[in-house]
């Protein structure tokens, strides 16, 4: 049996969640006199991805590595969390602390980390099934609570891991093994969903534009709040060509959010989201509303101030004194 705390640690997680900070400023644990270089792809890559050759998810993974390198993140500063699905295999491919949780519930799991460990940046990866079907309720509530984390949804409009069933974002008429006559249920519009739920950072990108993916990830990471990115990520096996219309190399058009778009204007963001496919790419909406992390930290600070400098056992003793 090994107790969790054996000796005085050199670094400790703070007891109090500090007010949330923007990305890239988390605690680094260096050995005395150690100079650390940014992690290279070789150091940060783990298992060889199990995705099919040509899968859009490779691009997202490569850009995550690039983000870590560029922003000089070290493994003690972040976690990668995922649910279930092809894209949710993500944490296995990253040589860092990671969790492969159950289907649809990555967001509440990540919330538990975010609220208790302000020293970590929490990245959540998943697919459209995870985000908008089985985990739809959690998407709404994590956005509403404005939990500080970065959520990248690799949206491929189809269930890939289970081999071609309809997804909540499959377009009308899409033929799958469960909709052999064509999908009939109105697809979810992730941008509108995020806006309506109260997400404070809403962006859209596509795997075929690597520079844009990286720019969106950086912006989401630097956002103090719930940073949501819908990244179109083609499933070459079960929905090939789904996103050609957004890819200039395939004869499509990649149209960025207009320069004069006001990201603080929610109604304007809805208008952008309402455009037919392939629509716009970029930051649709951004809002500086306080995070749940900050709100809870404030409650803690106020309550701690009320109990003064009492130790934990003294606070409990006072409660018991009132029950005599």
Q: What is the footprint of other proteins within residues 33-62 (CB under 8 A)?
A: 43, 46-47
- Rounded CA-CA distance 297/287 in Å is 20
Only one of the segments 10-18, 188-196, 218-226, 229-237 lies at the binding site for other proteins (rule: CB under 8 A); that segment is 10-18
Nearer to other proteins (CB atom), residue 236 or residue 300: 300
Show the tokens assigned to 90: 């993500």
Nearer to other proteins (CB atom), residue 214 or residue 297: 297
Asked whether the CA dihedral 243, 244, 249, 254 is positive or negative, the reply is negative
Which residues 243-272 are close enough to bind other proteins by CB under 8 A? none
Q: Are the C-beta atoms of 10 and 34 separated by less than 8 Å?
A: no
Nearer to other proteins (CB atom), residue 267 or residue 323: 323
Phi then psi dihedrals of residue 37, to 5 deg: -90, 155
Residue 198: how many CB atoms within 10 A of its CB?
A: 17
Q: How far is the CB of 99 from other proteins (least distance, A)?
A: 5
Nearer to other proteins (CB atom), residue 84 or residue 216: 84
- Rounded CA-CA distance 11/38 in Å is 21
Only one of the segments 1-9, 165-173, 194-202, 250-258 lies at the binding site for other proteins (rule: CB under 8 A); that segment is 1-9
Show the tokens assigned to 75: 């493994």
Q: Are the C-beta atoms of 89 and 60 separated by less than 8 Å?
A: no
Task: Provide the 3-class DSSP secondary structure of residue 256.
Answer: strand
Q: Are the C-beta atoms of 54 and 160 separated by less than 8 Å?
A: no
Only one of the segments 76-84, 185-193, 255-263, 274-282 lies at the binding site for other proteins (rule: CB under 8 A); that segment is 76-84
Which residues 92-151 are close enough to bind other proteins by CB under 8 A? 92, 95-102, 105, 108-113, 115-117, 119-120, 137-138, 140-141
Q: How far is the CB of 44 from other proteins (least distance, A)?
A: 9
Q: How far is the CB of 73 from other proteins (least distance, A)?
A: 12
Which residues 176-205 are close enough to bind other proteins by CB under 8 A? none
Only one of the segments 7-15, 51-59, 185-193, 255-263 lies at the binding site for other proteins (rule: CB under 8 A); that segment is 7-15
Q: How far is the CB of 6 from other proteins (least distance, A)?
A: 7
- What separation in angstroms does the CA of 203 have from each of 96, 118, 128, 221, 229? 26, 24, 15, 12, 5
- Rounded CA-CA distance 27/119 in Å is 6
Only one of the segments 73-81, 175-183, 209-217, 263-271 lies at the binding site for other proteins (rule: CB under 8 A); that segment is 73-81
Long-range interactions of 249-252: CB distance < 8 A, separation 24+: 249/208, 250/208, 252/278
Which residues 284-323 are close enough to bind other proteins by CB under 8 A? 296, 299-300, 302-304, 306-307, 312-313, 315-317, 319-320, 322-323
Q: Are the C-beta atoms of 44 and 68 separated by less than 8 Å?
A: yes
Residue 284: how many CB atoms within 10 A of its CB?
A: 29
Nearer to other proteins (CB atom), residue 267 or residue 299: 299
Residue 77 as a binder of other proteins (CB under 8 A): the answer is yes
Instruction: Number of residues interacting with other proteins: please give it, by CB under 8 A.
Output: 72
């Amino acid at each position: 049996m090994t107790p969790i705390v054996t000796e005085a640690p050199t670094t400790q997680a703070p007891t109090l969640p500090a007010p949330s900070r923007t990305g890239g400023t988390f605690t680094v644990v260096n050995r005395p006199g150690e100079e650390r270089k940014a992690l290279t792809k070789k150091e940060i890559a783990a298992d060889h991805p199990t995705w099919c050759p040509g899968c859009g998810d490779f691009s997202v993974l490569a850009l995550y590595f690039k983000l870590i390198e560029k922003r000089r993140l070290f493994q003690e500063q972040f976690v990668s969390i995922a649910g279930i699905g092809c894209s949710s295999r993500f944490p296995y491919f990253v040589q860092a602390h990671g969790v492969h949780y159950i289907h649809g519930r990555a967001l509440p799991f990540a919330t538990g980390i975010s609220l208790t460990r302000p020293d970590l940046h929490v990245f959540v990866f998943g697919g459209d099934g995870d985000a908008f079907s089985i985990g739809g309720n959690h998407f709404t509530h994590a956005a509403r609570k404005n939990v500080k984390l970065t959520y990248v949804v690799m949206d491929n409009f189809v269930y890939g891991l289970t081999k071609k069933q309809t997804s909540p974002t499959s377009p009308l008429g899409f033929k799958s093994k469960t909709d052999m006559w064509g999908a009939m249920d109105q697809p979810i519009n992730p941008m509108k969903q995020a806006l309506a739920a109260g997400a404070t950072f809403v962006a859209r990108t596509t795997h075929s534009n690597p520079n844009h993916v990286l720019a969106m990830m950086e912006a989401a990471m630097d956002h103090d709040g719930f940073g949501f990115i819908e990244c179109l990520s083609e499933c070459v096996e079960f929905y090939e060509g789904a996103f050609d219309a957004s890819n200039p190399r395939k004869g499509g058009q990649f149209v960025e959010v207009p320069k004069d778009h006001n990201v603080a204007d929610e109604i304007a963001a809805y208008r952008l989201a309402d455009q037919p496919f392939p629509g716009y790419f970029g930051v649709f909406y951004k809002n500086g509303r306080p995070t749940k992390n900050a709100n809870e930290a404030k409650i803690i600070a106020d309550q701690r101030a009320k109990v003064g400098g009492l130790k934990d056992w003294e606070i409990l003793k006072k409660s018991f004194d009132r029950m005599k």
